[in-house]
């Protein structure tokens, strides 16, 4: 009763402070003892705040120094209320959890919820994304840039390793071979492209490049030993068939449990497993056919580009 509080000359904040201190708790200060810091909080003992009638027995001091029982200014009634009041950025909030329906991506579900919130919520209410949804919205539209950076980074590492711009390009051309299997596996299982499948695609860029190195590096050695470009490519594919097959099977068998994952978080594991298994399988099957072709084309272009330089160097020396 705020009118009664003003009549009795009681500071309104004193009423709230009394309720908080006795029923809740109030931080006072810290003190050091035995080499440790202890926090002091004031709160009424449990026996004095157990029942509803105990609130009326609490006392508050007015500006004249008199102690006034709270039952003269406070009335208590029994009602229902939430056990927990959630807040987000200091505003009262209600959390909503959900997932996309089968056949729809999480991005489509987020866009639909945004449209519904804008159409249904009053102007005094807003919405924010948290958790995985916040991360997905933050990286929305940046996936292609991440994939491009991953390819460029792998390409630069290969260039530094082999000291050749062209040979590394032949390896990078094998990356789409893995993406074909990823797309096919996702379509076969009816999955969408989410953040976990994108992580799997980044993983495939390194995996496919590593497998292509087995052929390109061996073909390069055969070419340097004097064999023709076509013979070197075919011989490398034939001799490296078993290592490539063993590498692919080892990886596929290692991550295959993700395909049939169950329990909490099974959807994320299945998405990641489907992306990498499908990509690794298609890369293993197509790499033996296409990587030798890539090597032949790139090697011919590289040697053709070096011939004019050698000719000019011979003319200058004469």
| 3 state SS for the chain | CHHHHHHCCCCHHHHHHHHHHHHCCEEEEEEEECCEEEEEEECCCHHHCCCCHHHHHCEEECCCCCEEEHHHCCCCCCCCCCCCCCEECCEECCCCCCCCCCCCCHHHHHHHHHHHHHHHCCCCCCCCCCHHHHHHHHCCCCHHHHHHHHHHHHHHHHHHHHCCHHHHHHHHCCHHHHHHHHHHHHHHHCCCCCHHHHHHHHHHHHHHHHHHHHHHHHHHHHHHCCCCHHHHHHHHHHHCHHHHHHHHHHHHHHHHHHHHCCCCCHHHHHHHHHHHHHHHHHHHHHHHHHHHHHHHHHHHHHHHHHHHHHHHHHHHHC
pLDDT recorded at residue 295: 84
pLDDT recorded at residue 310: 54
Q: Is the pLDDT of residue 229 over 70?
A: yes
Enumerate residues 6+ apart whose C-beta is below 8 A from 98. 109, 113
Q: Is the pLDDT of residue 317 over 80?
A: no
pLDDT recorded at residue 206: 82
Residue 95 main-chain phi, psi, to 5 deg? -90, 140
Provide the β-strand partners of residue 61: 67
pLDDT recorded at residue 24: 81
pLDDT band at 211 (very low <50, low <70, confident <90, very high): confident
The two tokens of residue 301 are: 């272009």
Q: In which residue ranges of the chain is CATH 3.30.2090.10 found?
A: 2-72
Q: Is the pLDDT of residue 214 over 60?
A: yes
192 vs 280, higher pLDDT:
280
**2-72 has which fold?**
3.30.2090
Question: Cβ distance 62 to 68 under 8 Å?
Answer: yes
Give the residue from 17, 98, 105, 94 showing the smallest Cα distance to 61: 17
pLDDT band at 315 (very low <50, low <70, confident <90, very high): very low
Give the residue from 105, 104, 77, 301 showing the smallest Cα distance to 198: 105
138 vs 253, higher pLDDT:
253
Q: What is the mean pLDDT of residues 141-146?
A: 73
pLDDT recorded at residue 313: 52
Q: What is the mean pLDDT of residues 159-177?
A: 80
Backbone dihedral region for residue 104 (phi beyond 0: left; psi -120 to 50: alpha; all else: beta): beta
Enumerate residues 6+ apart whose C-beta is below 8 A from 241. 288
pLDDT band at 97 (very low <50, low <70, confident <90, very high): confident
Q: In which residue ranges of the chain is CATH 1.20.1640.10 found?
A: 142-317
pLDDT recorded at residue 141: 67
Q: Residue 82 CB: number of other CB atoms within 10 A?
A: 7
Angle at 224 between CA 221 and CA 226, to 5 degrees: 120
Q: What is the mean pLDDT of residues 56-72?
A: 85
Q: What is the mean pLDDT of residues 61-72?
A: 85
Average pLDDT of the chain? 82
pLDDT band at 309 (very low <50, low <70, confident <90, very high): low
Residue 273 main-chain phi, psi, to 5 deg? -65, -40
Q: What is the mean pLDDT of residues 157-181?
A: 81
**142-317 has which fold?**
Multidrug efflux transporter AcrB transmembrane fold (1.20.1640)
pLDDT digits (tens, 9 = 90+) for 19-47: 888 888 888 889 898 889 988 888 888 88
Q: Is the pLDDT of residue 312 over 60?
A: no
Distances (CA, A) of 43 to 13, 19, 27, 62, 90: 17, 10, 9, 21, 25
pLDDT recorded at residue 231: 87
């Amino acid at each position: 009763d705020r009118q009664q509080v003003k009549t009795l000359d009681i500071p309104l904040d004193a009423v709230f402070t009394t309720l908080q201190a006795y029923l809740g708790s109030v931080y006072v200060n810290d003190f050091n003892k035995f080499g440790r810091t202890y926090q002091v909080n004031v709160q009424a003992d449990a026996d004095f705040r157990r029942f509803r009638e105990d609130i009326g027995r609490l006392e508050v001091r007015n500006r004249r120094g008199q102690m006034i029982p709270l039952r003269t200014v406070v009335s208590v009634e029994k009602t229902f209320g939430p056990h927990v009041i959630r807040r987000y950025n200091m505003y009262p909030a209600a959390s909503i959890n959900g997932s996309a329906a089968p056949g729809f991506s999480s991005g489509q579900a987020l866009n639909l919820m945004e449209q519904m919130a804008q159409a249904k919520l009053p102007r005094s209410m807003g919405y924010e994304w948290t958790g995985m949804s916040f991360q997905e919205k933050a990286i929305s539209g940046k996936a292609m840039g991440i994939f491009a950076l991953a390819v460029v980074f792998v390409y630069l590492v290969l260039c530094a390793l082999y000291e050749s711009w062209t040979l590394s390009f032949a390896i990078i051309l094998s990356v789409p071979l893995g993406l074909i299997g990823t797309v096919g596996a996702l379509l076969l299982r009816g999955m969408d492209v989410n953040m976990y499948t994108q992580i799997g695609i980044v993983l495939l860029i390194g995996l496919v490049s590593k497998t292509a190195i087995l052929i390109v590096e061996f073909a390069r050695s055969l070419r340097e030993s004097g064999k023709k470009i076509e013979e070197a490519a075919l011989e490398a594919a034939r001799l490296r068939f078993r290592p490539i097959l063993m590498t692919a099977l080892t990886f596929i068998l290692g991550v295959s449990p993700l395909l049939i994952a169950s329990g909490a978080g099974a959807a994320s594991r299945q998405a990641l497993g489907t992306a990498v298994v499908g990509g690794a399988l298609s890369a293993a099957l197509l790499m033996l056919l296409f990587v030798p072709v890539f090597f032949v084309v790139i090697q011919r272009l590289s040697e053709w580009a070096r011939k004019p330089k050698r000719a000019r160097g011979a003319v200058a020396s004469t």
